[in-house]
Amino acid sequence: MITGLDFDKLVHLFLYDRNAPLIFNSGFFLFLFCIFLFIYIRLRGKDNYRIIYVILFSYYFYYKSSGIYFLIMSFVTVWDFFAAREMHSTANRSKRKLLMLLSIAANLGMLCYFKYTNFFYEMYCGLSGRSFSSFDIFLPVGISFFTFQSMSYTIDVYRKQLIPLDKIQDFAFYISFFPQLVAGPIVRARDFIPQIRKPLFVGNEMLGRGIFLIVAGLFKKAVISDYISVNFVDRIFDNPNLYSGVENLLGLYGYTLQIYCDFSGYSDMAIGIALLLGFHFNINFDSPYQSATITEFWRRWHISLSSWLRDYLYISLGGNRKGKIRTYINLIVTMLLGGLWHGPSLRFICWGAIHGLGLAIHKLFMGLFPALKPSGHKMKPVWRILGTVFTFHFVCFSWIFFRAETFETAVNMIKQIFTFFHPEILADVLKGYKMVFAVMAVGFILHFMPKSLENKFISLTVRMPLIWKAIAVTAIIVFIMQIKSSEILAFIYFQF
């Protein structure tokens, strides 16, 4: 018998809780998804009902993450749907441009209000000599992702690279599709929209690959990322002055692995869940720390964002069409804005500037030595190894500014590494945190594992009979739940 108290707890579980967003690595999501999938499969061949059903579930998913702010996503959907249709129907170039600018202004206006109001107000107070008191503005989860998706749609329609949709429910499906709604990947309309009304089909290849990606993503997040975060990385970054330079460096290596496993783990799960629903997303991470140059790194890291910035910002600024100097400036400006996209903070701007300068210098270097390919694939093995080591540490250095809570904390960590290193305590540190470094070793080994070996594991999953797939997944999930951190941590990119 359910008591009144138990019933209240049960009801509360289904309601919005600001401190407990609905995330993939929670048991409650697994429970909801099983129910959702059971009904979803039974809507095969009933496209309109299936589309509306997914939209309703996606809106509930977003409600569990951001409460009443799902209305913002509704506004974006309606505004951009009709703006794109009107843009397509008119032959007046000035009107088309105005509609496109209004669409961008609406999206960026909301993004700026929720993310940057306090940032700009603090700057204003600093310049005017007034005291600063921040406004209590809640940042809706995933607003940066669904606004970027919607803008890509209207810009593509403006560029006549895409014909707008006739049915608003299809556009709502594209904007709100829950696997990638709150933390990406940023899915392009031209890739996703043609799949919406295709007959629902999940073949053995899609099923096997989807299961593999979900389990791999869960392992990356719940076992590797969360464990090293709670037990080591957070302690170092909370107060780097309490630790030696060698501990700070190891903490930095830990965060470098943590953010990769956290974000790529989410992307893996999003792509895997989409496959189980019959949809294909493009890969979002491609072993980025194997890159031999900074240019190659950005072709492997957060591919959906880096390609979005390239196609809709860098190219719009002129790309490489207006001379070498302008190309370098465009690269730096693009990455500065990419840094600002992550958050209204000097440290994010600094992170973007470091990568922008790195890309510009590499572009200059490639101009001086054209025989070397930007991707680094044709490097001799010794140069590729050296390039990979250098690029890895360049990226590690930039992560200091990305992770540190304040710019001062980032500077303190750098000082500790370069002036208070004390390598003689390395053995004691490794002994004291032996489980942390064992998990880190597993993470880096898996990351640098040859792609061919990963494909073999995927093929093995695909070939398994369905019953063995179910048994294997259940066993692995139980194993992960037993060894994961007791606290369920939100994904890092939820804050963006």
Give residue-wise pLDDT tens across range 156-205: 999 999 999 999 999 999 999 999 887 778 898 999 999 999 988 888 88
Report the range of poorest mean pLDDT among 18-27, 80-89, 130-139, 447-456: 18-27
Higher pLDDT among residues 489 and 179, named by residue: 179
Tell me the range of 10-19, 295-304, 468-477 where mean pLDDT is highest: 295-304
Q: Which two tokens stand for residue 178?
A: 């829950």
| Residue 496: per-residue pLDDT | 59
Interval 407-416 mean pLDDT: 93
Question: What gap in Å lies between CA 39 and CA 208, rounded to an integer?
Answer: 21
Residues 278-297 have pLDDT tens digits of 999 999 999 999 999 999 99
| Residue 450: per-residue pLDDT | 87
Question: What gap in Å lies between CA 488 and CA 26, rounded to an integer?
Answer: 7
Q: How many other C-beta atoms can be found within 10 angstroms of the C-beta atom of residue 162?
A: 19
SS3 284: coil
Contact between residue 282 and residue 302 where contact means Cβ atoms under 8 Å apart: no
SS3 491: coil
Interval 325-336 mean pLDDT: 90
Q: Which two tokens stand for residue 3?
A: 């008591």
Question: What gap in Å lies between CA 441 and CA 29, rounded to an integer?
Answer: 30
Interval 382-399 mean pLDDT: 93
SS3 35: helix
- The percent of residues in the chain predicted with pLDDT above 90, rounded, is 49
Interval 15-31 mean pLDDT: 77
Distance of CA 487 to the CA centre of its chain: 21
State phi, psi for 383 to the nearest 5 degrees: -70, -35
The band of 90, judged by pLDDT with boundaries at 50, 70 and 90, is confident
Crossing angle for the helix pair 245-276 and 204-218, nearest 10 degrees? 150
b/e map of 298-324 (b: 16 or more CB within 10 Å)?
Answer: bbbbbbbbbbbbbbbbbeebebeeeee
Global confidence as pTM: 0.89
| Residue 376: per-residue pLDDT | 46
- List all residues 6 or more positions away from 169 whose beta carbon is below 8 Å from its beta carbon: 48, 51, 52, 55
Place of tokens 């043609």: 194
Given a cut of 90, whether residue 67 has pLDDT beyond it is no
The band of 476, judged by pLDDT with boundaries at 50, 70 and 90, is confident
Given a cut of 60, whether residue 455 has pLDDT beyond it is yes
User: Annotated catalytic sites, by residue?
Assistant: 342
